[in-house]
Structure 1
Amino acid sequence: MDFVKQGPAAKYSHEGDEPINVNMAFGEQISFGQRSADVVARIVGSWAFIIFQSIALLIWMAANIFLAYQYETNPTYFNAWDPYPFILLNLLLSFEAAYTGPIIMMSQNRQNAKDRLAAELDFEVNKKSEEEIKVIMDHLVYQDKLILKIIEKQEITK
């Protein structure tokens, strides 16, 4: 059976770079500012924060409306610190938005960079997998040819 020795053997070596864990790669090089931005984004982007802030705003407005009403009926009563239209509240919310917006964008930019690295690594793995599959398919085609030759020889000898 000399035809067995003539065919190509599977020529693939699975040597190369070890897969990289993107989370560990980014976790090792994260700075204090990036870590802080992630914490702020995690907190501000949660339902707990939205509920807490909504309750705080309602309490602020209710207290100021109550104090303004009490002051109107009894001038010796404590006056509201931010009567309607709640200008101080508006200023505080604008201040909060002015600072949290860029911080959240910093966190998103870092996440985008992490996603780009993950996509690049996925592409490398896909290329390597395609090469491995091609080698396997070529070897299967070669095995099919060998099997057909063996069947032919058996039919001839019968």
Structure 2
Amino acid sequence: MTLTPGQRGAGDANVPSPADSVTATPHRSMVTLPHERETFARMRGTEERVADAITRSAGRMRFAYLHAVWFAGWILVNLGVFGKAAVFDPYPFGLLTMVVSLEAIFLSTFVMVSQNRQAARDNIRADIDFETNLRSEVWSAHIGRSLGLDAEQVELEVQRLVAQSRARLDGSPADPPGGLPGTPEPASLPK
């Protein structure tokens, strides 16, 4: 969102006011998560659908079981367990090796196609997240100014709470002695 000096909020020259954000809304990307899913569903061609279906089925245990039975059957037949007349790929099973190698080549290609599509989808989701976070930051700054909060004081309190949360997650003491240098007590924030 490009802002001209006339669009900036009255309280801070670097932060647009929410009214400016609302004005700019028609110009922003209107892609949301449900729209993103619909967009990707429409954009998928036949090749992508086939690649996704193959990747989905190859990623199931049923696929592994099927291959275990297939390989065991192939080996038993070609070892002559069911009679010498049934042998079509004698030991060391050169045909089986070629078939498995070709299958691995195609499967890895299908998996890469699906991964590339997922990466593109993840990039769109990251863009949506960034836009949402940026808008939230702009609104938070505006609301803080409107309430008369000191941004530096609020930031110090946020840093203290983040440090406290990280300490709890790490199993360290909940409050470091004395907190962060220059951190105000929560009661000192304007109400």
Give 1:63 deviation, angstroms: 2.0
- Structure 2: gaps spanning 5 or more residues: 1-9, 12-16, 150-191
- Aligned residue in 1 for 2:71: 57
Bigger Rg, which one: 1
Matches of residues 124-143 of structure 1 in structure 2 within 5 Å?
124-141=131-148
Give 1:90 deviation, angstroms: 0.6
Distance 1:39 1:56 in 2: 21
- Aligned residue in 1 for 2:128: 121
Relative CO higher for 1 or 2, CA cutoff 8 Å, sep ≥ 6? 1
Instruction: Work out whether residues 78 and 91 of structure 2, in 8 Å CA contact, stay in contact via their aligned partners in 1.
Output: yes
CA 79–47 in structure 1, closer or farther in 2 if over 3 Å, else same? closer
Distance 1:19 1:89 in 2: 49
Alignment partner for residue 18 of structure 2, among 12, 18, 24? 12
User: What root-mean-square deviation, in Å, do the aligned CA atoms of Structure 1 and Structure 2 show?
Assistant: 2.1
1:109 is the counterpart of 2:116: yes
Distance 2:103 2:31 in 1: 41
Output the TM-score relative to the length of structure 2: 0.60
- Aligned residue in 2 for 1:45: 59
Amino acid of the residue matched to residue 95 of structure 1?
L
Distance 1:79 1:102 in 2: 33
Distance 1:100 1:108 in 2: 12
CA 49–79 in structure 1, closer or farther in 2 if over 3 Å, else same? closer
Distance 2:138 2:67 in 1: 54
Output the TM-score relative to the length of structure 1: 0.71
Amino acid of the residue matched to residue 65 of structure 1?
L
Query: How many residues get paired?
Result: 127
1:96 is the counterpart of 2:103: yes
SS in 1 for 2:147: helix
Q: Could you list the per-position Cα deviations for residues 81-125 of structure 1 after superposition, in whole angstroms to 9, with x for gaps in the alignment?
A: 112211111111011112222122111111111111111111011
- Aligned residue in 2 for 1:145: none
- Aligned residue in 1 for 2:47: 33
Distance 2:114 2:56 in 1: 9
CA 97–60 in structure 1, closer or farther in 2 if over 3 Å, else same? same
Distance 2:65 2:129 in 1: 38
Q: Which structure shows the higher helix fraction?
A: 1
SS in 2 for 1:66: coil
Q: Could you list the per-position Cα deviations for residues 10-51 of structure 1 after superposition, in whole angstroms to 9, with x for gaps in the alignment?
A: x42363144422212211211111111111111112211111
CA 79–48 in structure 1, closer or farther in 2 if over 3 Å, else same? closer
> Runs ≥4 in structure 1, deviation > 2 angstroms?
none
Amino acid of the residue matched to residue 39 of structure 1?
A
